[in-house]
Amino acid sequence: MPDSEYRDVRSLDLFAPLAEETFTSLMRGAYVQNFPAQIELIHEGDPSDFLHIVISGSVDLFSSWNGRDTSLSTVRPNSTFILAATIKDAPYLMSARTLEKSRIALIPSRDVRATFDVDGGFARAIVTELAQSYRSVVKAQKDLKLRTSLERLANYLLGQQRHAGGGAVFELEFEKRRLASVLGMTPENLSRAFRGLQPYGVIVTGTRVTIDSQPDLERFAAPDPLIDDPST
Amino acid sequence: MPDSEYRDVRSLDLFAPLAEETFTSLMRGAYVQNFPAQIELIHEGDPSDFLHIVISGSVDLFSSWNGRDTSLSTVRPNSTFILAATIKDAPYLMSARTLEKSRIALIPSRDVRATFDVDGGFARAIVTELAQSYRSVVKAQKDLKLRTSLERLANYLLGQQRHAGGGAVFELEFEKRRLASVLGMTPENLSRAFRGLQPYGVIVTGTRVTIDSQPDLERFAAPDPLIDDPST
DNA sequence: CGCAGCCTTGACAAATGTCAACAAACGTGG
DNA sequence: CCACGTTTGTTGACATTTGTCAAGGCTGCG
């Protein structure tokens, strides 16, 4: 693993508490691999052999049932995924595929569990990470159960806007068909939802979004920190 | 705290790894309280001052937004709730109310965090608990995004049946209006969903459910361990 | 240029929610 | 133990939301 990537991984909150020696030994069994876009890295139901870390690119976590499928979340650089499965030594609940060319580090789950068993600091770091993940999913659950698709889209746009710096104009970060799936609707419905937000000053052309009337949109969206604020 | 309850709490997986002394000291700041039915124990957004443990009775975790509300889960005896908020020292994401007369133990969050910081075994137990919770919510999310309400109900009934011992006849464990909310639908819709399952051999009278044709229902429900199996 | 994939639109169907009425079940106080 | 009132559950009629199918436009790339 190149030195710069080693440092990237080392700098993750998850590994911060590890002694240099412990970290090095954990990394000994690890390897890094490049994947092209649209490669299925893991398939739900498979045993969780590796903890994955996205070094560059991005990964889609999704799930299928009975011919349908849905995107559950996106993993971006310098985050891990499927930590819970690794810890519990249980099968993956979600599949993962690269959205673009990506570089992924793989650490044998066995090693992660072994380190976790002996290193209290590591265990505490994992707790923090898991608590964060748990709260994210709970928020997604609330979003889905308490809001219509139009409301979800409105709040998503506000979140994206903030993420992009708060200006009136910003870009959608991914394909609309995937955005639709993330928001729990069909692509057709998303198209109509964008039109449905026009009365609140939302203009979409291609991947570019303009929010003409911030107050109108916010009044309609009624964002709630306990659903929409990623940090709390 | 009466001795039998002390032992109940002591026997939780979460506290198993604690040395007797550590556990006792953690319990020193704790207290136990009886609540009547329908009391709101915590309100979403409040700071998480206590880790709660249900000793007897049951507790509904729910959430509200913009005049709507939804039940997210039920906590039964000898489980904790809002562990993630306690650990992160973040506001509750869900409100909690007693469903019936209940006995609840409260441990100051500060003490939990302090113990967690110094006791690696406790940290590991918390990880296991959180990983479990995380996976439960992910399953709920998949259930919600991949299935229609009729399919959710069918799978819920199969789960209840198994939970009740697997016989063809069993009882619903809670009010239909609440079941509707848990399943993400209105009470009216649930009524119709029950009728909608009649063709698959489901008969409901009051709170009693009879599954006449197990194979038909299972074929329709298409249960999936990665969504419906609480243990994986 | 031409193909393939994504996005949009329209027409329609299915699923779900709302409102209103009523029936059934439940709990309380007499 | 009964009567009463409140809550819960059911049903019908209807509105809204969401999904499905089919067609066509746009875009990017070989």
Is residue B58 located within the same domain as residue B123? yes
Indicate if CB(A185) is under 7 A from strand D.
yes
Q: CATH no. for residue A174?
A: 1.10.10.10
pLDDT digits (tens, 9 = 90+) for B171-230: 999 899 999 999 999 999 999 999 999 999 999 999 999 999 999 999 999 999 999 999
pLDDT digits (tens, 9 = 90+) for B149-177: 999 999 999 999 999 999 999 999 989 99
Q: Report CB contact under 8 Å: A137, B142.
A: no
Q: Are A90 and A96 in contact (CB under 8 A)?
A: no
Backbone φ and ψ of A212, nearest 5°: -80, -35
Closest in B72, B88, B145 to A131, CB measured: B88
pLDDT digits (tens, 9 = 90+) for A86-99: 999 999 999 999 99
Q: What pLDDT shows up at residue A5?
A: 85
Is residue A125 located within the same domain as residue A156? no
Q: What pLDDT shows up at residue A44?
A: 97
The count of other CB atoms within 10 Å of the CB of residue B9 is 21
Residue B104 bridge partners (DSSP): B33, B54
Q: What pLDDT shows up at residue A171?
A: 95
Number of domains in chain B: 2
Q: CATH no. for residue A28?
A: 2.60.120.10
Domain boundary, last residue among B144, B161, B188:
B144
Q: Which residues on chain A are in Cβ contact (under 8 Å) with B184?
A: 144-145
Reported confidence tier of residue A149, pLDDT bands at 50, 70, 90: very high
Segment 55-114 of chain B within 8 Å of chain A by CB: 63-66, 68-70, 72, 83-85, 87-88, 90-91, 93-94
If you measure CA to CA, which chain B residue comes closest to A134?
B134
- Burial class, B165, CB count within 10 angstroms (exposed 0-12 / middle 13-18 / buried 19+): exposed
Which positions ≥6 away from A208 have C-beta within 8 Å? A169, A170, A171, A172
Is residue A52 located within the same domain as residue A99? yes
Predicted confidence (pLDDT) at residue B6 exceeds the cutoff of 90: no
- How many percent of chain B have pLDDT more than 70? 100
Q: What pLDDT shows up at residue A93?
A: 98
Is residue B151 located within the same domain as residue B215? yes
Predicted confidence (pLDDT) at residue A140 exceeds the cutoff of 80: yes
Is residue B154 located within the same domain as residue B69? no
Is residue B52 located within the same domain as residue B72? yes
Closest in A121, A128, A134 to B134, CB measured: A134
Q: Report CB contact under 8 Å: A130, B134.
A: yes
Q: Which residues on chain A are in Cβ contact (under 8 Å) with B66?
A: 146-147, 222
Domain boundary, last residue among B144, B166, B197:
B144
Indicate if CB(B66) is under 7 A from strand D.
no
Is residue B96 located within the same domain as residue B20? yes
Predicted confidence (pLDDT) at residue B1 exceeds the cutoff of 80: no
Which positions ≥6 away from B154 have C-beta within 8 Å? B197, B200, B202, B217, B220, B221
pLDDT digits (tens, 9 = 90+) for B128-145: 999 999 999 999 999 999
Question: Is A164 touching B (CB cutoff 8 A)?
Answer: no
Segment 177-216 of chain A within 8 Å of chain B by CB: 184
- How many percent of chain B have pLDDT more than 90? 95
pLDDT digits (tens, 9 = 90+) for B75-119: 999 999 999 999 999 999 999 999 999 999 999 999 999 999 999
Average pLDDT, chain B: 95
Q: Which residues on chain A are in Cβ contact (under 8 Å) with B84?
A: 130-131, 134-135
Count how many pairs of residues, chain A against chain B, have C-beta atoms within 8 Å: 150
Is residue B47 located within the same domain as residue B99? yes
Is residue B99 located within the same domain as residue B163? no
Is residue A112 located within the same domain as residue A38? yes
pLDDT digits (tens, 9 = 90+) for A24-82: 999 999 999 999 999 999 999 999 999 999 999 999 999 999 999 999 999 999 999 99
Is residue A40 located within the same domain as residue A17? yes
Reported confidence tier of residue A4, pLDDT bands at 50, 70, 90: confident
Indicate if CB(A186) is under 7 A from strand D.
yes
Q: What pLDDT shows up at residue A161?
A: 97
Q: What pLDDT shows up at residue B231?
A: 87
Question: Which domain, by its residues, includes B212?
Answer: 147-228
Domain boundary, last residue among B113, B144, B175:
B144
Rg for chain B, CA atoms, rounded: 19
Question: Is A123 touching B (CB cutoff 8 A)?
Answer: yes
If you measure CA to CA, which chain A residue comes closest to B92?
A226
Mean pLDDT of A147-166: 97
